[in-house]
Amino acid sequence: MKEHLLALKEEALEVLEKVATPKELADLRVKYSGKKGALTEILRGMGKLSAEERPVVGQVANEVREAIEEVVNCKQDEFTKAETNERLQAEKIDVTLPGRTLPQGGLHPLNKVIEQIEDIFTGMGYRVAEGPQAETDYYNFEALNLPKNHPARDMQDSFYLTEDLLMRTHTSPVQIRAMEAMKGETPIKVICPGTVFRRDDDDATHSFQFHQIEGIVIGKDIRMSDLKGTLLQFAREMFGESTEIRLRPSFFPFTEPSAEVDVTFVKKNGERVWIEILGCGMMHPKVLEMGGYDPEVYSGFAFGMGVERIAILKYGIDDIRHFYNSDLSFLKQFARQ
């Protein structure tokens, strides 16, 4: 039996040295030292040995088992290290490669124009005020000299939530709220940017939802010349130093006198034309009173412009709907400006 054990050891070590795969190693481990392996089969005959032979054969059997297990474990370690190195090579990161930059977005063109207008007017001492989009009939119409059933309301027919609550048709209600918040103190210099809503059909120049920026100035001895100078300064900062403006008489219920403002604009063919950009005027005495100011003591002016109209002129856009259809090919050009 001792000879069989030594022969098994020699055979097993020779075969194990030639193992090429982890599966082959596992199979040979079972073949030689498993519960039904060759070593176990030999040891089953120990019952036939004499008492003197058993310790000797048992010691040899342990030596054979340990020798086989040692080779198996060494081979297993080799396979594990090789597998780890192979995985590390496959997952290797070249730290010298340039990094992958994420795509960068940019401000929407309307937001860019709003921010630029805000910068211009805050640079002239104005503050920015905001108000609710769902507005009461009082602030949206009545406090602006547009009593119920006034025909001028037809131009701003809008979306009513209740009989007395509607989506605001202009940002003028914010002006009244700003006047009330000042409680008769002056001066007031405020601009009011925001979204407004009107029952318009969508086309190249109209939308049921658009953006306005309105402004007011209230104090003593405020004159039409102050208004014209302010708007000239704005136009030149927005469109260029050579820009000129002209005021044409118009009608607004909340200002008196009122005017439409045109700016000079150069077409692609070089022709210089006048284009309307906003409305303005001296604040109506009734509006001053509704806001808490004595029109015999104080005066003021107001103006309002559509942000989309300014953006169309500034960027040469031919259709207002481009601002709202989320076309990335259109929007990406403004990220670089």
pLDDT digits (tens, 9 = 90+) for 188-200: 999 999 999 988 8
Task: Classify residue 154 by its DSSP letter.
Answer: G
The answer to whether the annotation marks 256 as part of a ligand binding site is: yes
d(CA 247, CA 268): 25
- List the structure tokens of 13: 């070590």
pLDDT of residue 288: 96
pLDDT of residue 57: 63
For the ranges 64-73, 106-115, 175-184, 238-247, the lowest mean pLDDT is seen at: 64-73
Report the pLDDT averaged over residues 237-251.
94
- Asked whether the bond before 257 is cis by omega within 30 degrees of 0, the reply is yes
Report the pLDDT averaged over residues 231-257.
95
For the ranges 32-41, 67-76, 310-319, the lowest mean pLDDT is seen at: 32-41
Report the pLDDT averaged over residues 173-184.
94
- List the structure tokens of 239: 């469109």
Read off the pTM: 0.69
pLDDT of residue 40: 64
Q: In what order do the strands lie in the sheet with 127-128?
A: 127-128, 188-197, 209-219, 299-306, 272-283, 255-266, 245-252
Residues 91-147 have pLDDT tens digits of: 877 778 787 888 777 889 999 999 999 999 999 999 999 999 999 999 999 999 888
pLDDT of residue 323: 92
Task: With beta carbons less than 8 A apart as the criterion, state whether 42 and 4 touch.
Answer: yes
d(CA 202, CA 204): 7
> What are the structural domains of the chain?
1-91 (no CATH), 109-333 (3.30.930.10)
pLDDT of residue 200: 81
- List the structure tokens of 29: 């481990």
- List the structure tokens of 147: 């009593």
pLDDT of residue 41: 65
* Between residues 321 and 44, the one the model is more confident about: 321
Report the pLDDT averaged over residues 31-41.
68
pLDDT of residue 172: 94
Task: With beta carbons less than 8 A apart as the criterion, state whether 132 and 241 touch.
Answer: no
pLDDT of residue 49: 61
d(CA 75, CA 213): 79
- List the structure tokens of 221: 């001895």
Q: What is the mean pLDDT of the chain?
A: 86
H and E: helices and strands count for the chain: 11, 9
Task: With beta carbons less than 8 A apart as the criterion, state whether 193 and 118 touch.
Answer: yes
Which of the four pLDDT bands, split at 50, 70 and 90, describes residue 76?
A: confident
pLDDT of residue 98: 82
- List the structure tokens of 170: 């202009």
d(CA 278, CA 330): 26
d(CA 96, CA 82): 26
Checking if the pLDDT of 31 tops 90, the result is no
For the ranges 70-79, 118-127, 252-261, 277-286, the lowest mean pLDDT is seen at: 70-79
- List the structure tokens of 290: 């509704």
d(CA 218, CA 131): 19
